[in-house]
Amino acid sequence: MGAVETMPSREKQENSPPPEEKSPQAIADPHALNLAVSPEIRELSQLSAWDMLPLLDAEEEAEPYDFPLAMNNQVEYYLDFFQNRHRKTFAKWLARSSRYLPMIKKELSLAGLPEDLAYLPMIESGFNPTVSSHASAVGTWQFMQATGKSYGLTVNNYVDERRDPVKSTKAAVAYLSNLYKQFDSWHLAVAAYNAGEGRIKRAMKQSDTEDFWEIAKSQYIHSETKLYVPQLIAAIMIAK
């Protein structure tokens, strides 16, 4: 496909970590995890923040990962953030995830996709099937209306299947599978899930690279998308 965006951009504009969750609706847009770019994020966005650091040897990992991990200052920042300043909220999300993870992992496995993608709703919604964002993304997987309909979800004045954990998971699995077929990279596919595939294709062309981490050093994608992949990697590493 060309640079024309075939799905509506899912990107939100908030860019700093959220406040602690006080109720299921406290974080109106947990997909972004951010309300304003913090000084720490501004600092990480400069210089060597995206340079790769060594990962643990596979034999030292307690549980194998099937999503490609990476380590840099951004990932380290979110490992610290989720386990310290955001610890209570992350613990709530992790507890809530136990209700949905078996079903999500089963759907991912049936589709031949990495089961670690089951933690994507941690970043999207905190595993809250009823949450709505300011941009009108809804449900566990934070589908925009047009995208949800494109993947078979009914959305009208009477029914909104974006709030159905099972049906929205099947739609998300189909969407992620399609994104991987387009990009042949899970980092790029996940970035496209956040920003829209058209935006990522344009960024690849403008930066002349197919490496997400190189694209993240450029000005061609917004900060939210640059931080989205590190957030997911950190969430996977902590949850497992």
| CA separation for the pair 89, 19 (Å, rounded) | 9
Active site residue: 11, 14, 124, 161, which one? Answer: 124
Tokens, residue 166: 């099972």
Is 14 designated active site?
no
The answer to whether residues 179 and 193 touch, using CB atoms and an 8 Å cutoff, is yes
The answer to whether residues 223 and 38 touch, using CB atoms and an 8 Å cutoff, is no
45: which residues sit within 8 A by CB, 6+ positions away?
Answer: 223, 226
**CA nearest neighbour of 140 among 157, 156, 116, 123:** 123
- Between the CA of residue 228 and those of 96, 107, 112, 166, 185, what are the distances in Å? 21, 23, 23, 24, 15
> Amino acid identity of 34?
N
> Which residues are designated catalytic?
124
